[in-house]
A and B are shown apart, each in its own frame.
Chain A
Amino acid sequence: MKKITWAFLLLLFINFSGLAQDKELAPVTGTVAITNVTIVPEPGKKIDKGTVLVKDGLIEAVGANVKVPPGARIVKADSMHLYPGFILGLSHAGIKMPENKEAQNAKVEDPGNPPNELAGITPERKVYQYLTMGEKSVSDWREAGFTVAQTVPSGGMLPGTTSLILLGGNTDNPIMKAETGLYSTFDGARRMYPATVLGVMAHYRQLYRQADQAMNYSNSFQEDPSGRKRPAKNRTLEAFYPVVKKQIPVFFQAEEVLDAQRAMLLKKDLGFDLVLTELKEGWDLVEDVKSSNSRVQFSLDLPDWDEKKKDSAKTEKNSEEKTQLEKRKQEFLKKYYSQMADYASAGIQFSFSGIDVKPQDVQKKLQKIVENGLSTDAALQALTTTPAQQAGMEKSIGTVEAGKLANLLVSNKPYFEKDAKIKYVMIEGKLYEYDLKESKKPDAEVMDIVSGEWTFEADTPAGTMTGTISILKDEGGDFSGSIYNSVTGEEKSLRNIRISEDVLSFAFSVTYQSQNMDIETSLTISGESFEGFMEIAGSGESFPVEGNKVPSKSK
């Protein structure tokens, strides 16, 4: 009986559930005016107290004296700052690769000549095959101010062909440009050719030259088929044709300085257009990049720059050695963040890629880069006009001007200033609004204790629900976890696990009577127990929860 009431209550809330993380404002009209805002329409320009008028996804007018037509929705952005929506140079945003466990453990008969699929040689893969706009990565990048991304499947040395997509707006039609580049990495295959960087380099040369040869023959065949053998159909080689014809560049993932040199070596040998992407260690390569006529996308997954940890050395003995080592580490830390300024002053244009970085860390990293010498104008260029040009799309995106796609972001302070927060993101006229709540640093004690098993008891309107929560911290400091509850008897994984001061929050979904609902949880941890509440997303209805840590078993 009690259970039935509980279920009834749940059902009541279902209508309110399932909202996206960023609370979308339902469009009533296609005309929106953002008013009284400081506009940076393009790097180096500024309009005080201006208005941006958007109509049906395009920018209608920009300026200080724009007339707002009656019926337009007005978004007052007093004292806020408006920028062109950011463009991400390369990422896996929205890509959901099928899990293929069989392939991962496959043992091929001849490891020297494995099927391309297993060896990571799939340049023919296209973004549309794997794009899922509901992926969290899409909303996360959007929340970080990015409106357009170049995106690509992942896995192996030739994971696929890149596309330019919108990170919101009309999600039924997200692809702006289908084939923008060939994505390449130095990742070898597992226990089959090419397994190491040696194999990858050699095989790249082989495939490229074979593609060149096959393309030429196929052209001759088309011109004059009589007397010629019919060319073999080879999807792998065909994917190289637009690269060989220099219609699209190769985006080579090259994080380390040696990988970047290897990519340039291949460019020298084979002659393709090269974009070094996800570059982390580029400070010694300014001249090489310039003379080889390569282009650059810097990674934003740069090493953490914590303000001095006061680690009072336990042993005085080697303090001199340690000081010296610490000094060198600091010196190199700086190089990661100051290299962009060097490239800018050498006149090399660059954008940013987001293969590894967490979208929520991007702003912090960019601010650090600006702190280390890159002008905010140059930084903005790297986020807007340069990637637009690199993709050949500068006529529709990259600046705030009439006729362009209404891709914008609005922040409460100048974006590169400390504590600046994004309030609005607009993609093709669709407005996304965000909270300006401050997130606080996690409490050290809580960080220590949070990993492990917890039992919980929730006091729902219908009675007591019990279960277990397990939280795992991986090497990179990211959390993952799962929750089991006694009511539905399901084990579900946790999403959006965050720790702010002593509060652990996460979301999970439960399926009840084939209805899916999201539950947001917020728990205050104190010692080995917690108290808090769970909320059925969007309903405003919440109920108290408490729980305790399960002591970890020693082996």
Chain B
Amino acid sequence: MKKLSFILLIAIIGVCSAQNPKAEGGSFALMNATIHTVTNGTLENSNLLIKDGKIARIGELGSLGADVKKIDCSGLHVFPGMIDSGTSLGLVEVSSVDRTDDSREIGNVIPHMKALTAVNPNSALIPVTRVSGVTTVLTVPEGGLFPGQAALINLHGYTPDQMSAGFSAAVMNFPSSGKRGWWDRRSDEEIEKETRENMKELADIWTKVEQYHELDSIKANGGTSVSMDYYPEMKALLPVYRKEVPLMIEVNKEKDIRKALEWVEETGVRAILTGVEEGFRVADEIAEAGIPVIVGPTLSTPARDYDRYDRPYTNPSDLMEAGVKVAIRTSEAENVRNLPYNAGFAAAYGMTEEEAFKAISIIPAELFQVSDKLGSLEEGKQATLFISTGHPFETSTDVEHVFINGWKIPMQSRHTELYEEFLQRSPGLEK
């Protein structure tokens, strides 16, 4: 009898673990935690109530209903979910297998392409990323001058809509004046010519957007005689032209950054510079222009042979000290989980721990116009956060729980599953 129930028990456990665990909803009370609010300091021995997907309360929680699941967080830390401001997560599964790469569409000017459309909610990369506390990422299309629109997504949900964190923006790859690589045999003259042509094309596009804007305004004001053909490219650029949404401008080289600053001044767009590899060379000018930047990856090699070895590590702090608002990204897909370490190196080389953490939490939330929902632990914001044994910058820290929009995420991924199966393989050597 006893034996039988034991076997039964094993069978049940077996069934359970074979099933993919689901996220758990409901109300949760995180008790006795060190709460890193990011915007309002750090609260020792405090509590946080999650209800209806939101942070209902921080501090004394009073009496809790029976439905509230208590999680003892003594000795643990609560942080807002980390936000990666530039990835290809969801668009790319295995980068060297073309059929699994949806990050590049055909065309040089295709701002109407939407990254959110191609996000695969079932990507194996997503659980691997979120169990490390990275809960939200900007996923960015790649390619030509205007490769499409980036989308901010939360790393939980069964449809792209469920994942959407409510922000998208057109991306622009600013015409580059450098060699593309060793194989680039173009002469300096040719490069200059090509850059000039690209700049001319940009100017042409902008003239067209202006015309499109005028027509659209006339039509909006009842100009019935105006007929407008289907022109999705212009339609997509219109909110950028009208400064309703920011334009994400990818630009890296010193010379190009200067040109981009000029272009932004001429057109008056609401720009965010991304990449900004040589930002430290132009930091004061960027600060003066009041344009925020998204830099990274921090873990990369210096652009020039004669650059100091730690330039990529210090670039974020150099920019910040000049007065620039700095967010940090990984530019990764499968390695987005290294976001805290990209920020951590910025902290080891010039930023404070708090500043570097802001660069992957509240600052991206502000840049992406979602600071009312994400980026810090405040009452009323989304319960998108994680609980860990220490600061996420340290590799000795384990992330114990992750919540996204109030959903308690299963702490499982391909990597943990394989670990559990193979740490002590059975059968071992015997046949």
Contacts and interface: CB of A to CB of B under 8 A. Distances in A.
Question: Do chains A and B make direct contact within the complex (CB under 8 angstroms)?
Answer: yes
Interface of A: 315, 317-318, 325, 474-475, 554-555
B197 A554 contact: yes
B227 interface: no
Contacts of B197: 554-555
Interface of B: 187, 197, 254, 258, 281-282, 284, 306
A317 B281 contact: yes
Contacts of B281: 317-318
A475 B197 CA distance: 20
A475 B306 contact: no
A317 B285 CA distance: 10
A294 to B, nearest CB: 30
Contacts of B306: 325
A555 B254 CA distance: 27
Contacts of A315: 258
A127 B29 CA distance: 90
Given A317-B284, A325-B306, 9 more contacts: A315-B258, A317-B281, A317-B282, A318-B254, A318-B281, A474-B187, A475-B187, A554-B197, A555-B197
A84 B123 CA distance: 79
6 contacts: A318-B254, A325-B306, A474-B187, A475-B187, A554-B197, A555-B197
A475 B179 CA distance: 15
A317 B322 CA distance: 14
Contacts of A475: 187
Contacts of A554: 197
Nearest to B196: A554
Contacts of A318: 254, 281
A474 B197 CA distance: 21
A245 to B, nearest CB: 42
A315 B258 CA distance: 10
A555 B190 CA distance: 13
Chain B's interface: helix, strand, loop or mixed, by majority? helix
Contacts of A555: 197
A318 B187 CA distance: 25
Contacts of A317: 281-282, 284
A433 B282 CA distance: 59
Nearest to B285: A317
A318 B304 CA distance: 15
B400 to A, nearest CB: 47
Which 7 A-B residue pairs are closest in the complex by CB-CB distance? A475-B187, A318-B281, A325-B306, A555-B197, A317-B281, A554-B197, A317-B282
A475 B187 CA distance: 6
A223 B357 CA distance: 84
Contacts of A474: 187
A554 to B, nearest CB: 7
A197 B360 CA distance: 46
A554 B193 CA distance: 10
A322 to B, nearest CB: 11
Nearest to A474: B187
Contacts of B254: 318
Contacts of B284: 317
Nearest to A324: B306
Contacts of B282: 317
A475 B184 CA distance: 13
A267 B254 CA distance: 46
A510 B104 CA distance: 53
B372 to A, nearest CB: 38
A554 B282 CA distance: 33
A317 B254 CA distance: 11
A329 to B, nearest CB: 11
A201 B190 CA distance: 36
A315 B306 CA distance: 19
B26 to A, nearest CB: 56
A323 to B, nearest CB: 13
B145 to A, nearest CB: 15
A195 to B, nearest CB: 16
B306 to A, nearest CB: 6
A554 B197 CA distance: 9
Contacts of B187: 474-475
Nearest to B307: A321
A304 to B, nearest CB: 15
A321 to B, nearest CB: 8
